[in-house]
Amino acid sequence: DAGVIQSPRHEVTEMGQEVTLRCKPISGHNSLFWYRQTMMRGLELLIYFNNNVPIDDSGMPEDRFSAKMPNASFSTLKIQPSEPRDSAVYFCASSWDQSTGELFFGEGSRLTVL
């Protein structure tokens, strides 16, 4: 059974460039979460979706960040323009019930902005 699939696994880009991170949740899961992990701030929830609808995006740092979930099997997190402080590991997680806390994580996308 495939788990949560994220791409790319690693991305190195220059400041000002657009970055798009992709996530395919586990089939049948109806909730999807985007997290950011850094040494300084730990694991931060950026946004989560339930049945493809964004429920809470209060964790999105600023307008440079946007997330979409056009269908139940795909989500994107976009940063435009990117800045060096956006360097982090971005995790996508999915769940069949957003309230239980049982999340299934992808392996993450490591972003480096030079």
Partner 1 sequence: AQSVTQLDSHVSVSEGTPVLLRCNYSSSYSPSLFWYVQHPNKGLQLLLKYTSAATLVKGINGFEAEFKKSETSFHLTKPSAHMSDAAEYFCVVSDGRTSYDKVIFGPGTSLSVIP
**Residues in contact with partner 1 by the rule CB under 8 A:** 4, 33, 42-43, 45, 48, 50, 55-56, 91, 93, 98-108
Nearer to partner 1, 45 or 72 (CB): 45
Nearer to partner 1, 54 or 81 (CB): 54
Q: For residues 19 and 44, what is the distance between their CA atoms, to the nearest angstrom? A: 19
Q: Report the nearest approach of partner 1 to the CB of residue 62 (Å).
A: 20
Nearer to partner 1, 5 or 78 (CB): 5
* Element (DSSP H or E) covering residue 20: strand 19-24
Q: For residues 22 and 36, what is the distance between their CA atoms, to the nearest angstrom? A: 14
Task: Give the closest residue to 73 by CA, choosing from 114, 15, 32.
Answer: 32
**Rg of the Cα atoms in the chain:** 13
Q: Report the nearest approach of partner 1 to the CB of residue 81 (Å).
A: 27
Sign of the alpha-carbon dihedral angle for 53, 44, 6, 21: positive
Nearer to partner 1, 14 or 102 (CB): 102
Q: Report the nearest approach of partner 1 to the CB of residue 100 (Å).
A: 6
